[in-house]
Amino acid sequence: ENLDPLRTFEVATVLGLPRCRVEGALQATMSLLSRCLGTGEDVALVLRDIGVLLVEQRKVRMRFYYDFLEAVSGKENLEKGVFKIQELLDMVVPQGVPVAALTSFGSVIVFP
């Protein structure tokens, strides 16, 4: 579980935080996530400004925020592609949607 020192330095620099604090937070998050997955608990990992990674009953789904997809692909491409294919439409959610609304059971451990 060693973290890449160069990457943690970059993250710490961008966030304006000490590298040891960033490394500690990443290690704690990875440890808790590993423990939850190991015991079969349902987990939601909120990726700020990107979306939510859901692990339910050992199945993994990613739900992307509309704003993120629009920024990556452009509004026109997003409307042409995603909104015409139901499977892709199911992957798009509005930012700020309650995580419990994205889960089948409404009961998950939410990582900030």
Is 53 found in the same domain as 17? Answer: no
Rounded Cα distance between 71 and 4, Å, is 28
Tens digit of pLDDT for each residue in 30-59?
A: 888 888 888 888 888 888 888 888 888 888
Q: Which domain range does residue 29 map to? A: 1-39
Is 51 found in the same domain as 29? Answer: no
Is 35 found in the same domain as 45? Answer: no
Tens digit of pLDDT for each residue in 57-111?
A: 888 888 888 888 888 878 777 777 666 666 666 778 888 888 777 877 666 667 6
Is 66 found in the same domain as 49? Answer: yes
Is 61 found in the same domain as 15? Answer: no
Rounded Cα distance between 89 and 102, Å, is 13
Is 71 found in the same domain as 91? Answer: yes
Rounded Cα distance between 54 and 62, Å, is 6
Is 46 found in the same domain as 35? Answer: no
Query: What string of DSSP letters covers 12-45?
Result: HHHHT--HHHHHHHHHHHHHHHHHHHHTT--EEE
Is 80 found in the same domain as 59? Answer: yes
> pLDDT at residue 1 above 60?
no
